[in-house]
Amino acid sequence: MDIIKELEHYRLEHRLTQAKLAEKLGVKLLTVQRWLNNSIKPGIINEHRIKIILEEIKGASLEMKKRSQLERKDPLAWEKLGELGRKISKEWKSSKKSWQLLSESRR
């Protein structure tokens, strides 16, 4: 698939405006509009930026797919892992509050 078609697919899939996409890529809105209208092609640097963003998305999608497959194989293990994560989060928040109180009492 053409990199610009992939970029437009990404934009639509993630419900990004052309302006937000331009901001994410560090280019002007007009530049993105011209790419999407096939008026101009991205230069080497911008093409590299586009590829990086698309690769990040593909990597994230692959991770979600792997996780989904693992959840189906052993849903109980994933449930226990989620419980453990929530417990750790609560303990961390509690210890964070303790440290804040301690530092405030030393003032």
Convert the pLDDT of each residue in 94-107 to its tens digit: 776 666 666 677 66
Question: Would you say residue 79 lies in a domain?
Answer: yes
Q: How many domains does the chain have?
A: 1
Which CATH number belongs to the domain containing residue 82 in this structure? 1.10.260
Sign of CA dihedral 41, 45, 47, 53: negative
Question: Would you say residue 101 lies in a domain?
Answer: no
Question: Would you say residue 103 lies in a domain?
Answer: no
Stretch (H or E) spanning 63: helix 44-73
Q: Containing domain of residue 81, as a range?
A: 3-93
**Predicted structure pTM score:** 0.54
Tell me the C-alpha to C-alpha distance, in Å, between residue 12 and each of 6, 7, 71, 81, 95: 10, 9, 28, 33, 42
Q: pLDDT digits over 25-48, tens only?
A: 899 999 999 999 999 999 999 998
